[in-house]
C-alpha cells in the first residue's frame, strides 16, 4: 500500500496540466478553425476564377466546295440587287377603283395594273371638248362673215368708181373686211387653245389608268381599292404614294463589299463565281462589271458590281451571295473537290511548336492540333484534318487560352 500511495502522489491531475500548459487546451481548436477558414476562402477563390470566361471572337468553318473556287484570288460577300426597278404610282391624285396586281405577278410594259376614279376627269374632258366645238363653230361663223364682207367690199368699190355710191361707203366696206379677218384669226387662236385644253383633259383622263413601265415581276403591293394615291405625300400619312414595285429580273446583279486592303486584286471584266446562301451547291458563272470609285469610310470597303451570266427564277433581290474572284474563267468543274474545312487564317495559333485551332463546344474550347494549311483562298486556310465543316473556331485566340478554358463569344462589330 505504501508503494501505491507513492504512485498516486507522483500522478499530475488533468486540470493542473492544462493550467501549466502541458495539455492540448484550446490551441488545437483555434488552429483547426483557421485552417478551415483558409480552405473555404481558397475554394471560393477557385470557384470565382473557374467561372471567369475569356471573351473571344469566333467564326464558322466552311465547306471548300461551296465557298472556294479553284484559282480564286479573293472572296467577298454581298447581295443580289436589281439595277432596274420602279415603284408604280399615279401621276394625279385620285381614289383607287381597281388594283390588278399581286406579289409575284409577271407584267408586260404598258399592262394595266390599276385604275383611279375617273368621273371628275371624264367630265372635264367632255367640257373641254364642248368648249372646243363651240370655238370651232365661231371660227366657221367668222369665215362666212368674212367672205360676205369681201363680196360687199368689191361691189361697193365698183359702184364708187361709177359714182353710184360715195367713196366713203367703199372704204367702210374694206375696213369691215379687215376687222372681220382679224376677228377670224383671233377665234382661230381661241380654237387652238381649246384643242390644247382637250388634249390636257384627255391626258389627265388617261392618267386614271396606271400601267407597268417595263416588263418585270411585282415584288410588293402597297395599296388597296378605296385608298387615295398621289404623286405627293399628303394627308398626314393617309395618302399612298405608290401602288406596287416592279422589278426587271433581267437586270439582277450582285453588289459585294471588298475590303479596301484587297481591292487591288479585283479588275474589271474579271471572271468570278457566285454562290447563293440559299443554294450553297449551285455555282453561277459571273464576271466583274465595274469597281465603284468610292470607298465606305465606316466599313473600309469598296463596292464591286458583279454580273450574273445565267438568269434563273430562283435568284431574287436581296439574297445573300458569296463571290469568288477567279484568276481565269473555269470552263469545266474540278475533277476532285478539295477536302477539309475552310477557317480564317487568324484562327490558327502556335502552341508548343504545333499549329492548333480552338473549337468552341458549349461554353468551353477544345484544342485541336492541325497540319499546315494545304492552300489558302483569300484570307482563309484549308485544313484537311482537325476541323469539320460547321465547327465554331476562335479567331485570333489570345495567348493565355488553353484547352478546356471557358469562353464567352464577343458580340460582332457592325460591318
- pLDDT per position as a tens digit, 129-164: 999 999 999 999 999 999 999 998 898 888 888 888
Which tens digit of pLDDT belongs to each residue from 1-59?
455 555 455 555 555 444 444 455 555 566 566 666 656 655 545 444 455 678 888 88
The neighbouring-strand residues paired with 301 are 259, 296
| Phi, psi angle pair for 234, to nearest 5° | -150, 175
Grid coordinates belonging to 53? 470566361
Domain boundaries, the chain: 2-51, 54-64+338-409, 69-83+250-326, 85-109+214-247, 119-206
pLDDT at 382: 79
Phi-psi region of 237 (alpha: psi -120 to 50; beta: other; left: phi over 0): left
Q: What is the pTM of this model?
A: 0.54
pLDDT at 340: 76
Give ∠ CA 144-146-147 in degrees, rounded to 5. Answer: 65
pLDDT at 187: 93
pLDDT at 68: 46
pLDDT at 39: 64
Q: 54-64+338-409 has which fold?
A: 2.40.420
pLDDT at 339: 72
Cα 356 from Cα 378, distance rounded (Å): 20
Q: HSE on the CB side for 10, CA within 13 Å?
A: 6
Query: What 3-state DSSP class applies to 76?
Result: strand
Superfamily for domain range 69-83+250-326: Efflux pump adaptor protein, beta barrel domain (2.40.30.170)
Measuring CA to CA, which residue among 17, 54, 36, 95 is closest to residue 402? 54
Q: What is the DSSP letter of 243?
A: S
Cα 314 from Cα 317, distance rounded (Å): 10
Query: What 3-state DSSP class applies to 127?
Result: helix
Measuring CA to CA, which residue among 172, 330, 325, 177 is closest to residue 256? 325
Q: What is the DSSP letter of 401?
A: -
**Block mean pLDDT (10 aa), the chain, length 415:** 53 51 55 64 51 77 59 83 92 92 93 94 94 94 92 88 86 91 93 94 94 93 90 66 91 92 90 92 92 90 93 89 80 54 84 86 86 64 82 88 84 47
Contact 111, 212 (CB under 8 A): yes
pLDDT at 384: 80
Cβ atoms within 10 A of the Cβ of 100, count?
A: 14
Cα 87 from Cα 103, distance rounded (Å): 13
Which residue is associated with the grid cell 479596301?
Answer: 260
pLDDT at 332: 45
The neighbouring-strand residues paired with 322 are 77, 275
Amino acid at each position: 500500500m505504501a508503494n501505491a500511495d507513492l504512485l498516486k502522489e507522483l500522478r499530475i491531475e488533468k486540470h493542473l496540466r492544462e493550467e501549466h500548459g502541458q495539455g492540448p487546451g484550446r490551441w488545437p481548436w483555434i488552429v483547426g478553425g483557421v485552417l478551415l477558414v483558409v480552405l473555404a476562402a481558397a475554394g471560393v477563390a477557385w470557384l470565382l476564377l473557374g467561372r471567369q470566361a475569356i471573351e473571344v471572337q469566333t467564326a464558322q468553318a466552311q465547306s471548300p466546295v461551296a465557298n472556294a473556287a479553284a484559282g480564286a484570288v479573293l472572296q467577298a460577300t454581298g447581295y443580289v440587287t436589281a439595277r432596274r426597278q420602279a415603284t408604280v404610282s399615279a401621276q394625279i391624285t385620285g381614289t383607287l377603283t381597281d388594283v390588278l396586281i399581286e406579289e409575284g405577278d409577271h407584267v408586260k410594259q404598258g399592262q394595266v395594273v390599276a385604275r383611279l376614279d375617273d368621273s371628275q376627269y371624264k367630265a372635264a374632258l367632255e367640257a373641254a371638248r364642248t368648249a372646243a366645238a363651240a370655238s370651232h363653230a365661231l371660227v366657221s361663223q367668222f369665215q362666212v362673215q368674212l367672205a360676205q364682207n369681201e363680196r360687199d367690199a368689191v361691189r361697193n368699190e365698183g359702184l364708187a368708181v361709177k359714182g353710184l355710191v360715195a367713196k366713203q361707203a367703199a372704204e367702210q366696206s374694206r375696213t369691215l373686211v379687215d376687222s372681220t379677218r382679224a376677228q377670224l384669226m383671233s377665234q382661230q387662236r381661241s380654237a387652238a387653245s381649246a384643242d390644247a385644253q382637250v388634249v390636257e383633259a384627255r391626258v389627265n383622263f388617261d392618267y386614271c389608268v396606271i400601267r407597268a413601265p417595263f416588263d418585270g415581276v411585282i415584288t410588293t403591293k402597297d395599296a388597296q381599292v378605296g385608298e387615295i394615291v398621289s404623286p405627293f405625300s399628303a394627308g398626314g400619312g393617309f395618302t399612298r404614294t405608290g401602288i406596287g414595285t416592279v422589278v426587271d429580273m433581267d437586270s439582277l446583279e450582285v453588289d459585294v463589299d471588298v475590303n479596301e486592303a484587297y481591292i487591288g486584286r479585283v479588275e474589271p471584266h474579271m471572271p468570278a463565281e457566285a454562290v447563293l446562301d440559299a443554294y450553297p451547291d449551285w455555282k453561277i458563272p459571273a464576271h466583274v462589271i465595274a469597281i465603284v470609285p468610292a470607298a465606305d469610310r465606316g466599313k473600309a470597303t469598296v463596292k464591286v458590281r458583279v454580273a450574273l451570266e445565267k438568269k434563273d427564277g430562283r435568284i431574287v433581290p436581296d439574297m445573300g451571295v458569296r463571290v469568288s474572284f477567279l484568276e481565269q474563267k473555269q470552263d469545266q468543274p474540278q475533277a476532285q473537290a478539295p477536302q477539309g474545312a475552310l477557317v480564317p487564317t487568324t484562327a490558327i495559333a502556335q502552341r508548343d511548336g504545333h499549329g492548333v485551332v480552338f473549337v468552341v463546344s458549349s461554353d468551353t474550347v477544345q484544342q485541336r492540333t492541325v497540319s499546315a494549311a494545304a492552300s489558302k483562298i483569300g484570307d482563309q486556310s484549308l485544313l484537311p484534318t482537325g476541323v469539320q465543316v460547321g465547327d465554331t473556331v476562335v479567331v485570333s485566340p489570345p495567348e493565355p487560352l488553353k484547352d478546356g478554358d471557358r469562353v464567352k463569344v464577343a458580340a460582332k462589330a457592325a460591318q
